[in-house]
A = this chain, B = another copy of it.
Amino acid sequence: MKPETQQFMKFIETKGLLFTTERKSVAEEVFSTHDHLDAEEVLKKLKSTGSKASRATVYRTLDLLVESGLVEKIDLGEGRSAYEHTAGHPHHDHLVCTVCGEVREFEEPLIEQLQEWACEKAGFRAIGHSLNIYGWCAKCKLSVKA
């Protein structure tokens, strides 16, 4: 069992909930890659590996993972969202390719700083934020030109 999964187990038990096989398999799936997974992908992967977790359970467990702080939910716009685990990942924002759908990360600590200032100025208490840049990734830029 991955260390992240163990942390999640601890979180679940501390909350007085049960660490079921369904919850475990969803967590393991999410922690198995650094890619950005959406709920449907998690469900499909689980089905293919024999787990019988239902869609509802996948969504419910993803919410718990987010609540535990081990996973971040990213809003990719147009109603799409994805999940990625945060372990060893500094905060970052996303470049979303509108051609191939690829999601690439970028970091710009100064942007974070500027956001904080903007909130202060407005008397706003930030809980989270989402910054996506949409466009053509390096690869698609070439193929579109061609």
Contact = CB atoms under 8 A, between A and B. Distances in A.
Interface of A: 75, 77-79, 93, 95, 97-98, 104, 106, 108, 110-111, 114-115, 117-119, 121-138, 141
Given A79-B79, A141-B123, A131 B130 contact: yes
A122 to B, nearest CB: 6
A61 B11 CA distance: 49
Nearest to A106: B118
B125 A134 contact: no
Nearest to A124: B95
Given A119-B133, A128-B134, 13 more contacts: A78-B79, A97-B124, A104-B122, A106-B118, A108-B118, A111-B115, A115-B133, A124-B133, A124-B135, A125-B141, A127-B135, A129-B133, A129-B134
